Structure 1
């Protein structure tokens, strides 16, 4: 078997998987087939001796092709939903793998929901959540760090589930707790802070937050309370990726995001994040107190 025949055989062994990835990304059989064919062209022009994992390489390439196609699609007029209908055109040979895809969670309803995501959100969600591609591999495709890719996928996941922000008594209760924390900190009310903090609270801070003098990790209600006495005057109540939290703004830009874990009406864990990549991708929505 010649080198070209061997490569074609290996590619065909991955074709069904690649079509599944492309269909989930694009929601269109013809476009999925185009993406797979483009992947073959790129493979045939590449130095395969440098490819250690052909399946992973092809998945990455198809992901990048689909990302480009999605971005191009967003600048064109919107297509009718019917174009995403999982029906097979007369000139397309039915594929068992693709029919299985159409029959499972990626039906018409989910494809319509996926259309509401940005290209990066859609790719991160599809590759990680549906195909278990690690964020270390997703990140370079969308030009982000693994942490940012994880954040983007998390946001996409909430939107796919139809819960861009949580609702219900738990969220209202968390808002009350965060408001109580903010008021006590602003008023330098040590006793009120102790009441809102779990005795075993743990405070974490990333390097971005630590650069502003945050002492972390820190544990225990008394030590955490002392740290925030009179120091939250510039903080604002927001939804942090749909969860009530705080943000410290400077010159109109977020500097540090406060994420709270509330259990039984008390703050059990507090995370301060000021990493620029995180701040670029976190979704912050102002809340009224």
Structure 2
């Protein structure tokens, strides 16, 4: 029994370690501009990681002090959390499976259209109330202003691989035909295209294209990029947690079998 408890304790310690990359993925998402303004995925990830850590600690204590009810709680609670983590991984995969950039002639960066993204993501930015808050958050960052410090010449800017957020929010869409002055200041063409984003562009550095659908699309493209990266971490952690959980169940069953056999021998003698 003691040996089995030590094994269970070791397995739970590994589960504690596996919660760290999950929590880290959530914290990492908070550092990304798009995620920090939308504030959707990072908190579920962090909370789930913390719960896994707490449950793993409970299982470790139960194994170390041989508290059977605490081990049973660990097995039930960890199973629930693994299911929730699996649902989260599947959810992120499903909502980020759509959406990609479109190349433009003589441009290295891509441009993005709102209708290319999943309905769930579009709903995050379609509401004027939600977008006003996100727009205020975006305009307060240095996402666009840092472009002016990096690119002075038009050709340098056109050859740059800027982020989707910068492509959608910091400049007018290429189809509008604006003339480059600097990355965030453009001269309006005489015959403007009928795309509404062309009319939304404003050289005011607090306005730019933050009201454009291209900005919403660029934000979602940024979200997708970071969510996919975080989802890889979550998927690897999920697979490892499932393996550790199965080992824990086997060790717990062996411990109970050893305990029953020991009691049977004591009763027989």
TM-score between the two structures when normalised by the length of structure 2: 0.23
- Decide which structure has the larger Cα Rg and report it: 2
Which has more strand, going by share of residues? 1
Which has more helix, going by share of residues? 2
